[in-house]
Chain A
Amino acid sequence: GQQLNQSPQSMFIQEGEDVSMNCTSSSIFNTWLWYKQDPGEGPVLLIALYKAGELTSNGRLTAQFGITRKDSFLNISASIPSDVGIYFCAGDPSNYGGATNKLIFGTGTLLAVQP
């Protein structure tokens, strides 16, 4: 099945550092979403992006919808221990401009924060 390429695969950082991760696709997406998953639980939505070039913040999190509609990035500023988890990008692939009703996920970025 189709998947989005997400990088890096994992990050090990010190508390207080900033984090950046990105997601790319070979095809155009209508929507980009960013999720966080804690162990043994379902992913939780962090940020949703709907327009090319859109930049949206949610507290210490900032995400952008790439101009080409084929990529997105997520930044976390001043990381704290509770930021630990797996971060996923997700997108609704375009079907000649219309929605496909599918939601495709990236391969995930594992974030570890050392106090």
Chain B
Amino acid sequence: SQTIHQWPATLVQPVGSPLSLECTVEGTSNPNLYWYRQAAGRGLQLLFYSIGIDQISSEVPQNLSASRPQDRQFILSSKKLLLSDSGFYLCAWSAPMGATEAFFGQGTRLTVV
């Protein structure tokens, strides 16, 4: 069966520090991978999605970047965090050949102080 792992679960980082959140998927090949951010207001905002290695689409211009160095690994990064980067970050995967059901990791609660 397929599983998705996302870490860390919580993170407190100072303004201006770098960020690296990692997500890995097991039990499937060539998944579509997604990074979402959820602010306190509840909505899930799509940040990045990827249909393959090194194929990243950015949905919102921002202080973050994403990379997919391996088929089932998706990384969310920042060189210098801003206060506004605080939020709940969720990684998700779906089967290849078009977005169907997406399955989420447990999320990372990022607080920038």
Contact = CB atoms under 8 A, between A and B. Distances in A.
Interface of B is mostly: strand
B11 interface: no
Contact of A100 (B60, B99, B103): B99
B98 interface: yes
Contact of B106 (A31, A41, A99, A105): A41
A101 B57 CA distance: 10
Contacts of B104: 42-44
Interface residues of A, number: 29
B99 A107 contact: no
Nearest to A43: B104
Given A42-B104, A44-B104, A101-B51, A92 B43 contact: no
A66 interface: no
Contacts of A88: 44
B25 to A, nearest CB: 13
A7 to B, nearest CB: 13
Interface of A: 1, 3, 30-31, 33, 40-45, 48, 50, 86, 88, 90, 92, 98-108, 110
Given A31-B100, A42-B90, A86-B42, 8 more contacts: A33-B101, A42-B107, A44-B104, A45-B101, A92-B98, A100-B99, A103-B46, A103-B49
16 contacts: A1-B45, A1-B60, A31-B100, A33-B101, A42-B6, A42-B104, A43-B44, A90-B44, A99-B97, A99-B98, A100-B99, A101-B98, A101-B99, A103-B99, A104-B46, A105-B36
